[in-house]
Amino acid sequence: MTGTAAPARFQLFPLQVVRAARITPHMARITLGGGGLTGFVNGGLDQRIKLLLPQPGQSEPLTPPGDGEFGWYRTWRGMDPAVRPVLRTYTVREQRHDPDEIDLDIVVHGEAGGPGSRWALTAAPGDRVIVCGPAVEEAGGVEFRLPAGADWVLLAADEAALPAVAAILAELPAGLPVRVFAEVEEPGEEAYLAGPADRPGLGVTWLYRSKGAPTLPEAVRAAELPAGEPYAWIAGEAASVRELRRHLVGERGTDRRAVCFMGYWRAGRTEDQRADDGPQDEED
């Protein structure tokens, strides 16, 4: 029997930092390119990728060898943690062509920030990284799926999920009402959604931790929301996301299939520790 293997949905793209800029007080935009993006097929919306970063003292990340879509990941797991690349998850904020570039918007979360946040603070043109990203149409890694018949969309996010919110807003059908609840550290971050905020039918509520504003779940619980069937997309700190999902499904009676929710990070746990913890953000 003969057969042609299906093309890998994801592959490793060796890339360079083209530009790095602070676009709000807590958000760095890292533009990656340098010729390595041939075959990168952004699925749009909340498309996630894995970023492989060098360890301190390395000029570039080691490339974990491996066959197939995620053969590299099996190799990576067996490598010495002191030398294997640091693995972090981010969203493709935008892909452009001529020249091929992608933007990653990375939250710089203070002194206690981990290697992803620290890397974003110092990234400079020419720095080398690897991205594990989509290599075919509909590769996966996109969770936002607007059902036919949704009357309006709820997007609830903290800083880590604002890149996905911005990318989703850029693709939603014109005229569909959207309510965004965005929890950020302090005033000054609103500029991040300045472009999409012009969209007709969009209402954005900003919540500031430093000023003691309500949390995301508290703000949504207290809000008067539009009538009709919503599609809700919630992402951010894992415990907050779970609490908000419970409110929507348990207290507001939202169809659980119409609530997409993802813990993007967990207070007090690094991404490596979360991977070791296993899935914890599933329905309960």
Ligand X SMILES: Cc1cc2nc3c(=O)[nH]c(=O)nc-3n(C[C@H](O)[C@H](O)[C@H](O)COP(=O)(O)OP(=O)(O)OC[C@H]3O[C@@H](n4cnc5c(N)ncnc54)[C@H](O)[C@@H]3O)c2cc1C
Shortest distance (Å) from residue 57 CB to ligand X: 17
Stretch that binds ligand X, among 76-84, 147-155, 240-248, 267-275 (CB under 6 A): 267-275
> Letter for the amino acid at 14?
P
Nearest 5 degrees, angle CA 169-CA 172-CA 176? Answer: 105
Q: Quick check: 265 binds ligand X (CB under 6 A)?
A: yes
Q: Which of 25, 113, 201, 226 binds ligand X (CB under 6 A)?
A: 113
Hey, what amino acid is at 231? Y
Which lies closer to ligand X via its Cβ, residue 55 or residue 177?
Answer: 55
Q: CA dist 172 to 1, 83, 105, 168, 194, Å?
A: 45, 42, 20, 6, 16
Among 42, 117, 215, 240, binds ligand X (CB under 6 A): 117
d(CA 270, CA 89): 12
Site for ligand X in 188-247 (CB under 6 A): none
Q: Quick one: which of 268, 276, 282, 284 contacts ligand X (CB under 6 A)?
A: 268
Asked if 163 interacts with ligand X (CB under 6 A), we say yes
Q: Which amino acid is at 82?
A: A
Query: 209-231 burial, b if ≥16 CB within 10 A, otherwise e?
Result: eeeeebbbbbbbeeeeebeeebb
Q: Do residues 193 and 182 make contact, with C-beta atoms less than 8 angstroms apart?
A: yes
- Stretches 10-18, 59-67, 102-110, 209-217: which one binds ligand X (CB under 6 A)? 102-110
CA atoms within 13 A on the CB side of 238: 16
Q: Which of 17, 20, 154, 160 binds ligand X (CB under 6 A)?
A: 160
- CA–CA separation, 177 and 55 (whole Å): 44
Structure letter (DSSP) for residue 140: S
Q: Residue 55 interacts with ligand X (CB under 6 A)?
A: no
Q: Which stretch binds ligand X (CB under 6 A): 67-75, 114-122, 125-133, 198-206?
A: 114-122
Which of 25, 114, 201, 214 forms a contact with ligand X (CB under 6 A)? 114
The CB-of-78 to ligand X minimum distance in angstroms stands at 21
Q: Which is nearer to ligand X, 86 or 248 (CB)?
A: 86
Binding positions for ligand X, rule: CB under 6 A? 48, 88-91, 105-107, 109, 112-117, 159-160, 163, 262, 264-271
